[in-house]
Amino acid sequence: MRNKKTIITYGTYDMLHIGHMNLLKRAKALGDYLIVGVTDENYDRSRGKLNVSESTKKRVKAIEALDFVDKVIVETHKNQKVEDIHKYNVDVFAIGDDWVGAFDYLNEYTHVEYLARTEGISSTKLRKETFDTIKLGIVGLGRDTEAFIDEAKYVSNIKINRIYADDFLAVKEFTNNNDTIKYGHANYDEFLDSSIWAVYINTSLKKHYILIKKALEAGKHVLCENPLTLEKGELKELLSLAKKEKRVLLAALKTAFLPAFNQLLRELERGTIGEIKEVRVTRTSLYKEKAYPDSFIEQGATNLLSSYTSLLVNKVLGKSKDITFFDDNESGYDVSNLIITKHKNRALGVSKVATGLKSEEDAIISGTKGYVYIPAPWWLTKTFYFRFEDTHKSYQFTYEFEGCGLRYMIAEFSSLIQRGKRKSKMLTLSDMIGINRVLLEYNENKKENKKKEN
């Protein structure tokens, strides 16, 4: 009796089609036992595949339903192919011929076979045929506006050709100097009455609430820079409105959508460092050195930066029970703030934010068995280290990202709209409410203190 010949292949298998089926059948014909590795959505993002429309779970189920596939696994990192070849005693590694030469290094471990693909069909083509182009308008001429426009070019089915700002001359100058934006508006109602489906808002913080509300009432999906609102009750009102209008309302907090940040959260869920008791995180920026106007800086360190630190603290420790502030606001606004939050099981969040002093922007997540260190700038997460008492057990993860990181956020926003979903798993409604709670409580405290002084 001859030994079983094992074949392994990998792919995303988004929108499973006849081309995928043909390739998998060709792979199975090479042996007796076919193992299919389906790439995890977070790993896909880390490789620059931003336009996958189906979840990992759905794609795995589709492959498992094929009667000629014997085993399905999930691929989560770039070194896994070699690990799997050893683990499953693989005889042949099979892959499409559009990858010719790319996997020759695996010949050291097994035989590599490049298979012909079916001409004229691909997931990219199907996505273009299935999903309509999202017409998106820009609200505001913030410092990230041009970067957003550039990053959106890497996300399929997004078209940006309109911009609004209340300064007509500034809008005219911007459209004259930008090849992508053809139409400029100085009237917000006129802008919303155009053919756009969605808006990206990048204005002063105080304008966010009314701009979001008007956009949702006009039936537009909204992606808005943080914080979404500054006053009590406003965020819940907007979330209720988004639900009523069946529209996406998403905070533009790019850290939440980075591949490495999401992989970090998954690794923490494994319990490797034990029970997590403390998160220490710092976010500072000297906006004066970057020539930001005083009106921007005077919005305060907590309003400008605490969304980042609160994201990490709330994602790791959950909802806060109690919040204490130690701020420096001699200038009439806070140039720095130390924020202490209490969480379940006596865990603590220690956040430092500042616009008037500079510190190392790193983060430490401490557990009963070890800790995770994220080097500066932690909020542009690429590398993180798991460290233990026994240093021989320590290890690290590195996930690069493309561009400035905005494209991952834009891709999630686009995907939600295309799939008819309102809620992101990477930045949930609870996340946005928890993040917003910190700065709301701080602003409420400031109001109370002013009343007492008067």
CATH number of the domain to which 222 belongs? 3.40.50.720
Instruction: Judge whether 413 lies within some domain.
Output: no
Report the CATH number at residue 311.
3.30.360.10
Contact between 216 and 245 (Cβ < 8 Å): yes
Distances in whole angstroms, Cα of residue 438 to Cα of each of 47, 277, 379, 422, 433? 34, 19, 18, 24, 9
Query: 240 and 338 in one domain?
Result: no
Domain boundary residue, one of 103, 125, 147: 125
Instruction: Judge whether 114 lies within some domain.
Output: yes
Determine how many CB atoms are found less than 10 A away from the CB of residue 286.
13
Query: 116 and 140 in one domain?
Result: no
The model's pTM is: 0.85
Query: 447 and 330 in one domain?
Result: yes
List the domain range (segments joined by +) for residue 55: 6-125
Report the CATH number at residue 83.
3.40.50.620
Query: 107 and 237 in one domain?
Result: no
Measured CA to CA, the distance from residue 268 to residue 215 in angstroms comes to 37
Query: 266 and 117 in one domain?
Result: no
Query: 339 and 354 in one domain?
Result: yes
Structure tokens at 117: 């693909």
Amino acid of residue 52: V
Instruction: Judge whether 412 lies within some domain.
Output: no
> pLDDT tens track of the chain, all 454 residues?
357 899 999 999 988 899 999 999 999 999 999 999 999 988 888 777 777 878 899 999 999 999 999 999 999 888 899 999 999 999 999 999 989 999 999 999 999 999 998 877 766 666 666 567 899 999 998 778 899 999 999 888 899 989 999 999 999 999 998 888 989 999 999 999 989 999 999 999 999 999 999 999 999 999 999 999 999 899 999 999 999 999 999 999 999 999 999 999 999 999 999 999 999 999 999 988 888 888 888 999 999 999 999 999 999 999 998 999 999 987 789 999 999 999 999 999 999 999 999 999 999 999 999 999 999 999 999 999 999 999 999 999 888 888 899 999 999 999 899 888 999 999 999 999 999 999 999 998 888 777 776 6
DSSP β-bridge partners for residue 326? 338
Q: What is the pLDDT of residues 334-379, one digit of tens each?
A: 999 999 999 999 999 999 999 999 999 999 999 999 999 999 999 9
Instruction: Judge whether 405 lies within some domain.
Output: no
Measured CA to CA, the distance from residue 354 to residue 363 in angstroms comes to 15
Domain boundary residue, one of 195, 226, 253: 253
Strands 198-201 and 221-224: parallel
Give the total number of structural domains in the chain.
Answer: 3
DSSP β-bridge partners for residue 136? 160, 198
Domain boundary residue, one of 253, 287, 306: 253
Measured CA to CA, the distance from residue 309 to residue 444 in angstroms comes to 19
Coil, helix or strand at residue 280: strand
Determine how many CB atoms are found less than 10 A away from the CB of residue 107.
10
Query: 278 and 233 in one domain?
Result: no
Q: Is 262 exposed, middle or buried, given 0-12, 13-18 or 19+ CB atoms closer than 10 A?
A: buried
Measured CA to CA, the distance from residue 87 to residue 90 in angstroms comes to 8
